[in-house]
Structure 1
């Protein structure tokens, strides 16, 4: 087992003997909430499906690069285990928080009002995490997420967003497993057009997926490809612009209490999201530019607060969960 910063306290015996509970089954892995013995707290284990991961020689260097990434808006990888029988485990911190998908689209018995300042904070946090990966500020060169979607953004009680599952698709999975993830992304409306022929994720394909995620936040609708019988969010916005009904695309909960969508940054965020979803990759902004624009167009009621986990109470008021 290889451990990374913050995982030094973990031992192989503790990890393998942790009591696990299945919380999700993905195309390439099963996700467990695992409780360590003797009050050691909880961890998240991702058991990769047999044959989905690259060989041991390729896996080691790749997972070390992923393990070195540290940012307040990322879920950190704490350890990686390769067993003698080929089993592979990714060990993350466990965050008892809801995913952005759950918050937006149900699955919760009760949830807080997702006002525009709160949604903006979530978008900015996710954008900062992705920009950190793309800029390679962890010292290992640029890293592509490869599967940006609302179910891979965790949101805590103060609306701090943390992006998970980064770099797994491009760095760890074999081609068939990576393609299965990308096929799901296409069906759900997150897949950039160029991936039809390119087959390999790049920073600007992440930007496209983030644009869809930002539209999801603004519109409150589940994204989906038109071919899958769902809502193609960029097409809905284009139609609204042509019909001069742009303000009607916003989720009523977002627009509530907003007198002037332009002054509060809603219109600017919509334009930014559509720019991220440009059909041609070269026309999309970088994630660093996305962060800059989101920072410049914060809702007026929240501009005085710095959006970071260390200063969360001042800009959100009531916690997300009681």
Structure 2
């Protein structure tokens, strides 16, 4: 009887969680359209937040590139100023030489030597002539090279300004996408009754539990037994210490984080800077097999690499899930795993 009662209770829970959500659709939907189940609403909200996460990654990358380009522009501007000062100095030297020739009567040094009538003076003058010609040649060469460098610096600065403007537009577009997706998700959540929101949270937890259980049932945890590196331990300690802080898109702490903001700051605290976004972390950091991962490694999720969490051992990760949630610990297999990267390999 106990087994039957448990089975009946489980069936009742599933029915309660997936029953049609009348309130969520009554205000805006076509009254003749089929009502959405709570599971369908959960999937729709999850999809909206996933798209917001993808836009957040694009925004963060644009911000990082803009920072790099701004720094390069500053460096180029300094080089342009220094180059112009050098040109002014070289021109002043050339002017001094011209004035010296004018003071000597305007005659070329070679002509003055021929008119001197003194053999020793002629020989001394020949040495000075060669030295002067070499100095003039060097001066003109340096002047031409500096002018070429100045032109290149100016061109590079213009290119970086163009890229900076493109990134500004990209940031604005991504920000618009983020805010629209989050607003749509919150609107959908706000249309639910309090009881429905509670069931929605239970559904999310059940989905994560099912995925984690499926992942663990493969026996993968028996193969994962590597110990964290010294830097990995520091990164894990940092990430774990942020638990309870809210997810905010684009945030890198210390009061809030997005998913890659948390992992990048954790490894920065460990003394090993890594790329800012989950997609760049996936693209640039060394990959390791899941069975070989160790605490401190980063697990990249979804086919587009738009989420990341830090493996902390015992089949768990610490991550910043999404807007409306806090940094937390959850099962490493609770989301579709794309792969694992190791910052300090």
Please state which band the TM-score falls in when normalised by the shorter chain.
under 0.3
Bigger Rg, which one = 2
Q: Which has the higher strand share?
A: 1
- Which one scores higher on RCO, CA 8 angstroms, separation ≥ 6? 2
Q: Which has the higher helix share?
A: 2
Normalization by structure 1: what TM-score? Answer: 0.27
